Copies of this chain bind each other. A is one copy, B any other.
Amino acid sequence: MRTERIHEDTIKAVFFDLFGTLLPLAPLDVACEAIAPGRGGELSKAWRARQLELSWLRTIMGTWVDFDEVTRDGLDAALDELDIAVGTDDRRRLAAAFQTLPLAAGAADVLAGLRAAGAQTGILTNAATGTLRAVAARTGLERLTDHLLSVDPVRAFKPHPSVYRLATDATGLPPASIGFVTGNGWDAAGAGAFGFRVTWLRAGPARIPRVGAPDPVAASWSSLPEVLLDVDARRVPRLG
């Protein structure tokens, strides 16, 4: 009995979100500040808000386009909303900032540790397939992951259940055997509602929206291995 329960509860694979998780978004503030001096933080925040809003609206309406296009449209909307005038070249350069974000400190070690402990690792992201592959090659994530999953095949964005299903389909595992790590509260909620074991990399004043999902476990990159591995303290099952 006990063996069977442990087996069922064991995390066999851990998927990570990309933007705002493996790739922290703080560098966008700097890129925005260079284009709009004195208003970088404000622009960066509005850009991300409009980007996500467009991704949700398009998912609900069934008018999906890939995340590169949503990101460009979100930037245009933010610049328009804040009445910031930017030339075409600067606009293109700024949109490209999402393509060049550096890997979070500590992330590579966590991924390597998970694989050493016997878990599959992967990325499950809104990012377009081409962007995901380019990021994975540039940052070395391609050598640390078994699965690189973009939402492109399902033509919907997170937190739609069809996106999270990409990970169960790719691994053949049930949701309860999959750990999911994200810095985005709404992504944590969506993944939790789908049935993943969610760890939330809480950053700043972000909150988990009240959308009917179980509370995720909170962690930082440094506490993540312990959280993922410590079944008793955190109720997140041991890897293996």
The interface of chain A, by Cβ under 8 A from chain B, is 50, 53-54, 56-63, 65, 73, 76-77, 80-81, 156-157, 159-161, 186, 189-190, 193, 205, 207, 209-213
A239 to nearest B CB, angstroms? 27
Chain B's closest residue to A205 (CB) is: B81
A74 to B65, CA, bound (A): 28
A195 to nearest B CB, angstroms? 12
Some 10 contacts from A to B, beta carbons below 8 A apart, are A56-B60, A57-B159, A58-B212, A61-B189, A61-B193, A62-B161, A65-B212, A77-B207, A80-B207, A81-B205
- A159 in contact with B61 (CB, 8 Å): yes
A65 to B212, CA, bound (A): 9
Q: For chain A, what secondary structure do more than half of its interface residues adopt (helix, strand, loop), or is it mixed?
A: helix
A188 to nearest B CB, angstroms? 11
- A77 in contact with B209 (CB, 8 Å): yes
Chain B residues positioned under 8 Å from A65 (CB to CB): 212
- A207 in contact with B57 (CB, 8 Å): no
- B193 in contact with A76 (CB, 8 Å): no
Chain B residues positioned under 8 Å from A209 (CB to CB): 50, 53-54, 57, 77
A120 to B151, CA, bound (A): 42
A206 to nearest B CB, angstroms? 9
A57 to nearest B CB, angstroms? 5
Chain B residues positioned under 8 Å from A73 (CB to CB): 210
Residue from B57, B77, B80, B161 in contact with A61 in the complex, judged by beta carbons closer than 8 Å: B161
A212 to B190, CA, bound (A): 25
Residue from B56, B63, B77, B212 in contact with A56 in the complex, judged by beta carbons closer than 8 Å: B56
A18 to B106, CA, bound (A): 49
Chain B residues positioned under 8 Å from A80 (CB to CB): 207
Residue from B60, B157, B207, B210 in contact with A159 in the complex, judged by beta carbons closer than 8 Å: B60
A157 to B62, CA, bound (A): 14
- A60 in contact with B189 (CB, 8 Å): no
A189 to B62, CA, bound (A): 12
A210 to B50, CA, bound (A): 10
